[in-house]
Structure 1
Amino acid sequence: MKINVLDIKRLDLNLAVVFVAIWQERSVTKAAARLALSQAATSAALARLREACGDALFVRVRDGMAPTPRAVAMAERLEAGVADLWQVLTQQQGFDPGSASRRFSIGMSDDFELALGPHLTRLVRQAGDGVSVTFRQTNRHAVGQMMQDREIELAVVSGTVKSAWIAHEPIGQSGYACVVDERAVRCPLPLSLDDYLALPQLLVSFSGRSGIVDTALHAMKRTRHVYAALTHFSAIPAFLIGTRAVATLPSHAAAALARMSPLSVCAAPLDLGSYPVELLWRRDSDGESAIQWMRTQIKRAFALAWDDAAAVAPSTRAARRPRNVRTAN
């Protein structure tokens, strides 16, 4: 399609950027801060957008600015257009980790840090001395805001995150396993349900009150005794070693803890199911060769962590092996 450049010339293409910022932030004030503009300049740009489109586009509501149906219909194409324009105008040569100096900021909860982090840092170090990784704590509830604030560039989360401006790719699944100090619990492994419920339980939960095990036991009309609750998986060895107790946690984290401590891993004696693991990044970084390279490294690290979990306790694996991912270092 031939574009009439005279018609395009009459438009300020910066207005598209302002639209995308307000769409993503749902706030003129936040959009202004993100664009390094004054609030007055951003409000003026919105007024020009409204005039050009013949629609209010965003209306003030209690929690910020809500898009009109016209804005919703425009958003996906404008986001993609702005991203494509940026990619074309800033096209760079492919990322070379051997010569680049680049720090990546990656969000994940500490169970993924335990399982994926060491593999990922080894892969990065092998690729080049100028590349490094900063890990930031996040989860599927906090990841959107952290990406909006550009605190992180990529993230690994459990479950699914749906957002128009966040790209996501499933990289596998995980399940649950038990970790114990086998000498201290004095029970044969894998644990029977009765032995499992007879043991004091160490809970790892953000709320500190209940978890997926309690939900499953409630359906069975059974209960357990939780003697302590933690918020970080990395603290588990200090609480379990030498203690007659059990903790139930994601199988990838269980395998990682068993590799670094005397703890043993076994399958959970009740069906806790499995859940997807997703890799997230901002859509406006889709064409960056550095981000594409790091996505590949994260997928390789996840595949290596999956192999670790299968090697430590094959019966605990609840995931299909990630496809088309090379695991060789």
Structure 2
Amino acid sequence: MRPSLLCWKVFIKQIIQKMKINVVDIRKLDLNLSVVFLAVWQERSVTKAASRLALSQAATSAALARLRETCGDALFVRTRGGMEPTPRASAMAEQLESGVAHLWHVLTQHQTFDPATTVRSFSIGMSDDFELAIGPGLSRLVRDEGGQVSLIFRQTNRHTVEQMLNDREIDLAVVSGTVRRAWITQEHIGDAGYACLVDPEALDCPLPLTVEDYLRLPHLLVSYSGRSGIVDIALNALGKRRVVHTALTHFSAVPAFLTGVRAVVTLPSHAATALERMAALAVCPVPLDLGEYPVQLLSRRDGDGDPALEWLKEKIRAASVSALDVAGAEADSRPLAESRPTLAG
């Protein structure tokens, strides 16, 4: 549960008294204004900030006006793209976000957690490739040790994770790529590569695939946008292109579309390995050099030190290392076709 504004005021008052700061001076400030400031900063919109805070737009605008008067700065300037922060606002935002995170940590640092007896539910954000590869192992680890702990997996990716963490829809997230926010704690927990998945009974060519076979086969595409992916970027660099006959948004749908079909799909290797175990499909190396990408564990900074979250992070690390290492080892052990160009080629 988030600390109430009253708790914050009491805590701040205690700190001020210890520091022998004049409490009368600080009481002249409306601490609600800092909440409004952070909402506008994160949403870049007065309307969205008002909705998020359950305030009227007029009340939010009035609070912003008081903020401007208090700070002696415009703070946010209305542009076609939204409310753009001034340099003063940008400097304030990082300090306020860090301050709120520290305050939350101080208020909750004495919490205790026993996974065997504490009843608690965690929401974890993952795209379904990580859910397929990491989720089952994580569930087993939690079940073995946390008898009263339940997990809720939520569909998340790097485009939606910031908002979901900010709105506390999820407690933690596993995503690809990098997120840079002062209020988010980011931990690198591994690296992922790519592999091909096929139905070997439906193909008219041997495995592993050569680049010629790879380009000749129809492709399934799994993409958030449904338009293109890293394979197309790599092929463009080689002056080549592929034919995508079906685009999907969920990795879990691949077996239904690929089984019995003469086609190939290029997936994160951990997802390909997980799907191979679920269906009569085969994993083989990608005949292109697609490189690797980082896998990150994200959480709100104001949850740092929470013993329950730290326990769950430990389980996610263990499940992730297992899934990513197994997928990487299996991909490395599979032979490559001889004609394998690289991006530099």
SS in 1 for 2:309: helix
Q: Percent identity?
A: 67
1:253 equivalenced with 2:271 (yes/no): yes
Q: Deviations over 1:285-325 (max 9, x none)?
A: 33433222222222221111113314533347xxxxxxxxx
**Contact persistence 2:104–2:303 (CA under 8 A):** no
Matched letter for residue 237 of structure 1: P
Q: 2:294 aligns with which of 267, 276, 288?
A: 276
SS in 2 for 1:272: coil
SS in 2 for 1:293: helix
Aligned to 2:197: 179
Aligned to 2:234: 216
Q: Deviations over 1:77-135 (max 9, x none)?
A: 12111221232234332322222222212222111111111111112212223211222
Matched letter for residue 162 of structure 2: G
Rounded Cα–Cα distance in structure 2 between residues aligned with 1:18 and 1:3? 28
Write out the 4+ residue segments of structure 1 that deviate beyond 6 Å after TM superposition: none
By how many angstroms is 1:201 displaced?
Answer: 2.1
By how many angstroms is 1:36 displaced?
Answer: 4.3
Aligned to 1:148: 166
**Contact persistence 2:192–2:328 (CA under 8 A):** no
Matched letter for residue 76 of structure 1: E
User: Aligned pair in 2 of structure 1 residues 205, 46: CA closer, same or farther (>3 Å)?
Assistant: closer
How many pairs does the alignment contain? 316
Rounded Cα–Cα distance in structure 2 between residues aligned with 1:225 and 1:61? 41
Aligned to 1:319: none
User: Aligned pair in 2 of structure 1 residues 5, 293: CA closer, same or farther (>3 Å)?
Assistant: farther
By how many angstroms is 1:136 displaced?
Answer: 1.7
Matched letter for residue 272 of structure 2: A
Rounded Cα–Cα distance in structure 1 between residues aligned with 2:95 and 2:229? 40
Matched letter for residue 191 of structure 2: Q
By how many angstroms is 1:3 displaced?
Answer: 4.3
The farther-off stretch of 278-287 and 33-42 is 33-42
By how many angstroms is 1:8 displaced?
Answer: 3.2
**Contact persistence 2:98–2:183 (CA under 8 A):** no
Aligned to 2:42: 24
User: Aligned pair in 2 of structure 1 residues 268, 66: CA closer, same or farther (>3 Å)?
Assistant: same
SS in 2 for 1:313: helix
Rounded Cα–Cα distance in structure 1 between residues aligned with 2:245 and 2:80? 43
**Contact persistence 1:203–1:230 (CA under 8 A):** yes
The CA RMSD measured in Å over matched residues stands at 2.5
SS in 2 for 1:51: helix
Write the mapping of 1:102-141 to structure 2, written as runs, cut at 5 A.
102-141=120-159
**Contact persistence 1:95–1:290 (CA under 8 A):** yes
TM-score by length of structure 2 reads: 0.82
Aligned to 2:254: 236
Matched letter for residue 134 of structure 1: I
Aligned to 1:71: 89
User: Aligned pair in 2 of structure 1 residues 32, 182: CA closer, same or farther (>3 Å)?
Assistant: same
**Contact persistence 1:256–1:308 (CA under 8 A):** no
Rounded Cα–Cα distance in structure 2 between residues aligned with 1:208 and 1:93? 44
The farther-off stretch of 60-69 and 173-182 is 60-69
Rounded Cα–Cα distance in structure 2 between residues aligned with 1:100 and 1:255? 34
Aligned to 2:285: 267
By how many angstroms is 1:177 displaced?
Answer: 0.4
Could you tell me which runs of 5 or more consecutive residues in structure 2 were left unpaired when the two chains were aligned: 1-17, 335-345
By how many angstroms is 1:257 displaced?
Answer: 0.8
